[in-house]
Amino acid sequence: MRIIDLIIKKKRGEVLSREEINFFIDGYVSGDIPDYQISSLLMAIYFQGMNKQETTDLTMAMVDSGDKVDLSAIKGIKVDKHSTGGVADTATLIVGPLVAAAGGLVAKMSGRGLGHTGGTLDKLESIPGLNISQSMERFAEIVNTCGVSVIGQTGNLVPADKKLYALRDVTGTVDNVSLIAGSIMSKKLASGSDKIVLDVKMGSGAFMKDVHGAVELARMMVDIGTLAGKETIALVTDMNQPLGNAVGNALEAIEAIEILAGKHEGDLKVVSCLLASKMLVLGGIFPTEEKAMAKINQVIENGEALKRFGQMIEMQDGDSEVVNNTDLLPSAEKIIEIKAEADGFIQAMNTEDMGMVALLLGAGRTKKTDIVDPAVGYWLKKRIGDSVKKGDILADFYVNDEKNLDESIELFKKSIIIGNNPGKKINLIYDTIS
Give the residue numbers annotated as catalytic, written as ranges: 82, 161, 168, 183, 187
Residues in the chain: 434
HEC readout, the chain: CCHHHHHHHHHCCCCCCHHHHHHHHHHHHHCCCCHHHHHHHHHHHHHHCCCHHHHHHHHHHHHCCCECCCCCCCCCCEEEEEECCCCCCCHHHHHHHHHHHCCCEEEEEECCCECCECCHHHHHCCCCCCCCCCCHHHHHHHHHHHCEEEEECCCCECHHHHHHHHHHHHHCCCCCHHHHHHHHHHHHHHCCCCEEEEEEEECCCCCECCHHHHHHHHHHHHHHHHHCCCCEEEEEEECCCCCCCEECHHHHHHHHHHHHCCCCCCHHHHHHHHHHHHHHHHCCCCCCHHHHHHHHHHHHHCCHHHHHHHHHHHHCCCCHHHHCCHHHCCCCCEEEEEECCCCEEEEEECHHHHHHHHHHHCCCCCCCCCCCCCCCEEEECCCCCCEECCCCEEEEEEECCCCCHHHHHHHHHHHEEEECCCCCCCCCEEEEEC
